[in-house]
Amino acid sequence: MRVKHPLRSAFDVLVLKAPVEAQLIVTRRCNLSCGYCSEYDNYSAPVPLEALKERIDHLHQLRVVNIALLGGEPLMHPDIVEIVAYCNRKNQVSITTNGFLLKEKIIKQLNQAGLSNLQISIDALNNDETGYIQKSLKKLLPKLELLKQYATFEVHANVVLCESTKHTFKETVAKIRAFGFNVSIGLIHNDQGQIQIKGDDYIKLWDEHFQSGSSLIKADYTYGRKLLSGEKTQWKCRSGSRYLYIDEFGLVQYCSSQRNRLNKPLAEYTVQDLKAQSENYKGCEAGCSILCVYRDSMIDNEPQSILKEAYRTFSPF
């Protein structure tokens, strides 16, 4: 991941204990209906621009390092370019997208607005006639070509590992990497965030992916391998502190899979809330495969490992 202000970000995270990432829902609506997803609908209106600006202002006050714009499908928001530019005034900004709405014009507009990183979700090599998985590489190849040609922001792909994708997983990753993009793995989970796969086939793919240098993020390796082995490791989740999830109503939640538990308005969220949520267990840690939350939590749980990862990523040597 490209870090816009590395030294300032390191100070905010290590000294001020600021959140690493805030996932901000800009619309719940999506142009797809993947069978495993519980984070979309096909009818709701986008969050109004002024409401989003107020939320972004508050995230800036909390010194969040990265604001990740999510949906639904965030590119369906009619003001997405202005939202990116507004985030970019004081911190870095990323987008997670299914990629289907990417065109030359919007890519160039996002360049100009200051987008730092874009994650494109690509779940399978070929089309799935059942519709359970709709984000196939076959459909998205033209979008990867556009990103390679026009994007000045960093691009990486996330591939979901599950029964429907494991047989073509290595080929999918290889074809994406041929564009020069890194790949991270999402381990499929239920609507409570609990991992839904395990076994030797998955462990082998996991090992090969990390050993080949294909992975964008090395810090996931040991934990992910334990999950695929059926182990339910206990760890302290720092959601609500190092990681924030702000739903379409402007409420801070623990994560996308643990909504309606915290429910505190972002406008009322303070540094004291960050501290309190850093100190408590959430009760859903064992078996959780929401790897972005796990990763952000490791800054406090295993700081040495994260520092080594950061050095590996950003060192010029």
* CATH assignment at residue 118: 3.20.20.70
Q: What confidence score (pLDDT) does residue 314 get?
A: 45
268-305 pLDDT per residue, tens: 999 999 999 999 999 999 999 999 999 999 999 988 76
- Structural domain contains residue 250: yes
Number of domains in the chain: 1
Q: What is the DSSP string of 210-266?
A: HHTT-BS-STTHHHHHHHHTT--------BTTTEEEE-TTSEEES-TTSTTSS-EEG
84-125 pLDDT per residue, tens: 999 999 999 999 999 999 999 999 999 999 999 999 998 878
With 0-12 CB in 10 A as exposed, 13-18 as middle and 19+ as buried, what is 118? buried
57-95 pLDDT per residue, tens: 999 999 999 999 999 999 999 999 999 999 999 999 999
- Identify the sign of the CA torsion 226, 227, 233, 236: positive
- Structural domain contains residue 67: yes
Start-to-end CA span in the chain (Å): 17
What's the mean per-residue pLDDT of the chain?
A: 90
- Structural domain contains residue 1: no
- Structural domain contains residue 95: yes
In order of 84, 158, 288, the CA distances from 111 in angstroms are 10, 21, 34
Is pLDDT of 152 > 60?
yes
Question: In terms of residue numbers, what domain contains 245?
Answer: 6-314
C-alpha dihedral (211, 157, 295, 96), degrees to nearest 10: 180
pTM for the model stands at 0.92
